[in-house]
Structure 1
Amino acid sequence: MSDFIIGLTGGVASGKSEVTRRFEALGVHVADADVIARAVVEPGQPALAEIAARLGSEMLQDDGSLDRRRLRERIFADPQARATLEAITHPLIRATLARECRAAAGPYAIAAVPLLAEAGGRAAYPWLDRILVVDAPVELQHARLMRRDGVDEALAMRMIGVQATREARLAIADDVLVNDGHPEHLDAPVSALDARYRALAAASS
């Protein structure tokens, strides 16, 4: 059981996955909000039926699964539809994250929540003991996005622009890991954070 939970977040292309891989290599369980978000809308899940009921049956494909492309187009064009989707899925995602983290072996667990600042930060996730922000300069996020996703400059800027600002993310941080170099440079700061979190978890128990 892990009673000490770290929320990990960061902007698009900040390097969150590189960081979580290193925590996992140290034996830390990472519960991923993106993975859970996909699971809660699988066929047979109550959330999928509610999405179809409230946003229309055209959100489903012929086999009954979610038409992710059509849903994505809808929520980007219609803020009310986006709010409806979030009202259906976010409470389920938060509850599942908390349950998975608490069930994890080890002194602490990590809840990886890419849109933690956008979702309300600590107010929406009061069970987080600390928040770790993976931070990178906006111009570096921009360059990584263009290289990683093959998008043009304008789309990269839009993808960054729809997220919370760098300042808003840093405002909710207890800890900041700056990822502006080669991935290998993350090993030492992740090890230091792991040692700190193990000590804090031991003290809190």
Structure 2
Amino acid sequence: MNVTSGPKTTGGVMLGITGGIAAGKSQVAEYLCRHGNFTGIDVDLLGRQLLESGQKGYLAIKDRFGSCFFRDDRSLDRVRLRRAIFTDSALRIEINRLLHPLIREAMHLRATAAFRAGAEIVLVEVPLLYEAGWQQDFKLVIVVQVANKLALKRLQQRDGVSEDEALAALTARMTSDERVSRADLIIDNSGDWQTTCRQLDLLIPRLKEMCKG
């Protein structure tokens, strides 16, 4: 994946956190923000906001695909869109082309606002960080890693999808090995939560020290 240039953030230090589907990224990010006093940004949440009726992402999808992914009441059928993205690689590329620049812009605006409000470190959760080529936006990238079999089981339980649907979602992303090979820091979330927390407690002071340089 090529590294892409994009908007810049004015202020402190941005850290990225990523990982495969059902790796536990959100839980890890929330712990780091709470115990490390970091400000958190979830780009999935930004994306959902952009897909609300009348917002930039909603309009981009409507302009490109017409009524294909919309209900009779003109609301976006997110479940239908998500399933289509996981099963159609060409569609996934096109949707990402439309939405990623909008999400990236929103991310930088949110981070800049946080720095102006006094934040020193902003931790941004980006599921497709490497796939989108955004790694240069961050001083450091943390990868949350789990075994593929465990991720598959968690995804089926979390989203109530079949094994085939879960496999399609997992294989639509970068492989775990490739993601780990690019990481600055790795958290293994394959064990129990207490084991993960011990890793995070050791990581927090290390992150703060690394962000000083």
Question: Normalising by the residue count of structure 2, what TM-score does the alignment of the two structures yield?
Answer: 0.83
Aligned pairs, number: 200
- Is 1:132–2:145 an aligned residue pair? no
Give, as a single letter, the amino acid of the residue that structure 1 aligns with 2:183.
Answer: A
Give, as a single letter, the amino acid of the residue that structure 1 aligns with 2:38.
Answer: V
Please report how far the alpha carbon of residue 83 of structure 1 lies from its aligned counterpart in structure 2 after TM superposition.
2.5
- Is 1:171–2:181 an aligned residue pair? yes
Give, as a single letter, the amino acid of the residue that structure 1 aligns with 2:202.
Answer: A
The 8 Å contact of residues 36 and 96 in structure 1, kept in 2 or not, is answered as: yes
Aligned counterpart in structure 2 of residue 16 of structure 1, from 19, 25, 30: 25
Name the residue aligned to 2:195. Answer: 185
Distance 1:153 1:72, change over 3 A: closer
Q: What is the alpha-carbon root mean square deviation over aligned residues?
A: 2.2
Give the SS at the match of 1:195.
helix
Please report how far the alpha carbon of residue 79 of structure 1 lies from its aligned counterpart in structure 2 after TM superposition.
3.6
The 8 Å contact of residues 94 and 125 in structure 1, kept in 2 or not, is answered as: no
Give, as a single letter, the amino acid of the residue that structure 2 aligns with 1:195.
Answer: P
The 8 Å contact of residues 2 and 108 in structure 1, kept in 2 or not, is answered as: no
Question: Normalising by the residue count of structure 1, what TM-score does the alignment of the two structures yield?
Answer: 0.86
Please report how far the alpha carbon of residue 118 of structure 1 lies from its aligned counterpart in structure 2 after TM superposition.
2.1
Please report how far the alpha carbon of residue 17 of structure 1 lies from its aligned counterpart in structure 2 after TM superposition.
1.9
Distance 1:110 1:64, change over 3 A: same
Name the residue aligned to 1:89. Answer: 99
Name the residue aligned to 2:14. Answer: 5
Distance 1:157 1:30, change over 3 A: same
- In 1, the alpha carbon distance for the partners of 2:176 and 2:87 equals 24
Could you give the per-residue CA deviations for residues 4-51 of structure 1, whole angstroms, max 9, x where no partner exists? 111100111211122012112222211111101111121121332221
Give, as a single letter, the amino acid of the residue that structure 2 aligns with 1:113.
Answer: V
Distance 1:148 1:169, change over 3 A: same
The 8 Å contact of residues 86 and 169 in structure 2, kept in 1 or not, is answered as: no
How is 1:1-205 mapped onto 2 (pairs within 5 angstroms)? 3-26=12-35, 27-104=37-114, 105-120=118-133, 124-201=134-211, 203-204=212-213
Specify every segment of 5 or more residues in structure 2 that has no aligned partner in the other structure, as ranges.
Answer: 1-9
The 8 Å contact of residues 8 and 134 in structure 1, kept in 2 or not, is answered as: yes
Name the residue aligned to 2:6. Answer: none
